[in-house]
Structure 1
Amino acid sequence: MLEFSRTGLFGTSAEVIARAAGVTQPYIFRLFGSKTKLFVECVRISFAQSTARMLDAAEGLSGVNALVAMGNQYRSNLENNPDVLIQGQAFAACANEEVREAVREAYGSQWRQLAEQAGVEPVQMKVYMALGLLLNDLTVIDAKSSASADEQWVHDAYTVIDSSVFAALGTLSNVER
């Protein structure tokens, strides 16, 4: 997963993966059939792990409180996390139909599980997921690097969203949605 998180499906050779795992290249192909299938399995594991961490953080909570707990957990786990990086690589590799289907499945499963835990309105869930993808983007571009860390937009982009934003979204009428 670490190798794929660094250079993606198309930039990572099976030889590099085998070396990092301490196995032979033929063994990888015997286990997974192809590098793409191994990548897809890594993507599925990545989404499952990040979903499990967020669900654990929100255990016993619901509504906006669950979203805030899941969001705080997600934010705390962004730095140097291969899950975030491999998910970014997965979105980038969606030109491959096999990858696209796996990402769609994993993302949909994550959405459903988190929404079920929180029990929130669809518009609240949409904003929650959109903010998560913003954090992914900021992580992938290393926005906190020394070159841009002092820029106002970086500070603004990382500002924690107040729970009242999610609560207010739940009060929108169907017309406003």
Structure 2
Amino acid sequence: MRKTADERRADVVRAALKEFSRFGLYGTSTDAIARAVGVSQPYLFRLYPTKRDIFIAAGHHCFQRTCEAFRDAAHGLDGQEALDAMRLAYLQFAEDRELLLMQMQLYVAANSDEEIRREVLQWWHELWSLLGRLTGIRDSVITEFMSCGMLMNVLVALDACDGSLGWDMLVAVQEHTTSTAVLHASTTGAAQAAPPDRASVPTQRVWPPDGGTFQGLPAGTAAVCTRPA
């Protein structure tokens, strides 16, 4: 059965995401995308007039998938519980290098292309607003959440997701968040225990190499690394 134009566009976005995430806007050829989809370049440009249009469509898909993952994770939750669930959902994206690498390529391209910059900035604002609506948490906590997410993007781009400084902190955050969620879910009795308040959570040190030390911060927050001079 012959595919519709909309179905072909979806195929193009999937193929483009794979190519752009590796080689970026300027290093990717439309010929490679067309061959991956199984269409001619003239037909590809009937679906999307320019390579920039394809790049923007792939970027929009990338942000949409992130927003959908956060909505699904936070469903039925609010406050810190919702944020912890979204934190775990985003950590799962480490297995999908294409999605996180595409984010990095978007930020690079935005530096030299005004149209892309406007699009990406709008998606960023929408993502930030979504986090606020889903959690009701103050901006400073959302900033910590986004900072950890960007750290993960960088470590995935560097293929440094095993034993590297920073990744250990993210894994420790995940373990703390998971154990807290399990404890909360398994609480019995008429009144279930609420998730611990951030200010009351014991501080946690995360192992750093090279003699550096992490300042003690509540588990689940972005740690600050201090190193000897």
TM-score between both structures, scaled by the size of structure 2: 0.66
SS state at 1:106 partner:
helix
Say which of 105, 121, 124 aligns to 1:107: 124
Sequence identity (%): 34
Q: Give 1 or 2: higher helix fraction.
A: 1
Other-structure match for 2:168: 155
2:48 to 32, 55, 66: 32
* Structure 1 counterpart of 2:18, one-letter code: L
Is contact 1:115-1:125 (8 Å) kept?
A: yes
CA distance 1:166–1:140, change in 2 (3 Å): farther
Consecutive unaligned residues of structure 1, counting only runs of 5 or more, are: 169-177
Matched, 1:93 2:106: no
The answer on 1:58 being equivalent to 2:74 is: yes
Name stretches of at least 5 consecutive residues in structure 2 with no aligned partner.
Answer: 1-16, 178-194, 200-229
Q: How far apart in 1 are the matches of 2:157 and 2:66?
A: 16
Given candidates 145, 151, 155, the residue that maps to 1:138 is 155
| Cα distance in 2, alignment partners of residues 14 and 45 from structure 1 | 18
The one-letter code of the counterpart of 2:132 is: A
Say whether residues 1:4 and 2:4 are aligned partners.
Answer: no
Contact 1:9 1:39 in 2 (8 A): yes
TM-score, with length taken from structure 1:
0.84
Say whether 1:167 aligns with 2:184.
no
Secondary structure class of the residue paired with 1:93: helix
RCO comparison, higher one (Cα < 8 Å, 6+):
1
State the distance in 2 between where 1:166 and 1:12 align: 47
RMSD: 2.0
Name the CA distance, whole Å, in 1 between partners of 2:51 and 2:165.
41
**Larger Rg belongs to:** 2
Q: Distance in 2 between matches of 1:166 and 1:35?
A: 48
Label 1:112 to 1:33 Cα distance change in 2 as closer, same or farther (>3 A).
same
